Amino acid sequence: MVKDIDKLRMKNWVVGDTFAWKIKSKKYPEYNNRYVLFTMIETPKYWELPRTKRAFISKITSGCTLPQNQNEYEKAEPIKLTFEDPVELAHRLYEVKYDAIPDEYDYVYGYVFKFWVTSYKLNNNMTYIGNFDFIQPKDSFIPDSPLYGLMLILFDDSFDTEIDSMLKRYESNNLRKGIKYSKEYLENRDKIRQDNIDFMNHLRKVSEEIGKKCEIYGCDTKKHRDTCTYVGPKKQDR
């Protein structure tokens, strides 16, 4: 007899495993009784994640029922947790490699996030609903490092706070209520972009100057204990 697999435990997760969290929000009550879905995806190439983290995407249901099959799962809307401007990405201090096609607003979006489960197990408020295929949208921003502009979501006792944050981003990016979709911002975007690019170029110049001085005079790369940050009692008083 085969024992039931406990899908709440991280060690039993496989790509496609999907979990549901019922929304009960004081901040966004209009979404209550709908569900946020969490689907584990294959860890993107070149990423290195510790044992307590996995790569996931999220979706939100349009109603108060859970998907029962792949077709119903696909109808749930993927949540755009972050967004990036490709024009500004091209002028970062570091090179960011990614494959994504900008949308009609010339933005790309971070659907993928790092899901951090420190206890290696979800609680019973999260429901395993099955295994589903997820196809990345064309505008999905997946950089070559998990450190570049992606969201980290922590599963703990205050997970409802994370859900509120996700709903805020859903409204901002999916429903386009954020300031960067406003008529005023879009009319001034070229100037804003140039200001940001000029700032990044300034940082690059400063970084290069520091590098040159280090080559000439040398730089002390030793780690020093910061004695200015501790505000507790002295060791002998503890």
Measured CA to CA, the distance from residue 19 to residue 77 in angstroms comes to: 15
Q: Which two tokens stand for residue 10?
A: 């991280």
| Interval 143-159: pLDDT, tens | 877 667 688 999 999 99
Measured CA to CA, the distance from residue 146 to residue 80 in angstroms comes to: 16
Phi, psi of 46 (to 5 degrees): 80, -5
Q: Which two tokens stand for residue 85?
A: 């401007």
Strands 77-78 and 53-60: antiparallel
Measured CA to CA, the distance from residue 30 to residue 13 in angstroms comes to: 32
Q: Over 50: is that where the pLDDT of 99 sits?
A: yes
Confidence of residue 94 (pLDDT cuts 50, 70, 90): low
| Interval 46-91: pLDDT, tens | 788 889 999 999 999 999 999 999 999 999 999 999 988 888 877 7
pLDDT at 130 (0 to 100): 97
Q: Over 70: is that where the pLDDT of 11 sits?
A: yes
| Interval 175-204: pLDDT, tens | 999 999 999 989 998 898 888 888 888 887
What are the residue ranges spanned by the domains of the chain? 10-182, 188-218
pLDDT at 228 (0 to 100): 39
Mapped onto helix, strand or coil, the DSSP state of residue 69 is coil
**Position of tokens 């409802």?**
160
Measured CA to CA, the distance from residue 19 to residue 173 in angstroms comes to: 23
Mean pLDDT of the chain, nearest integer:
86
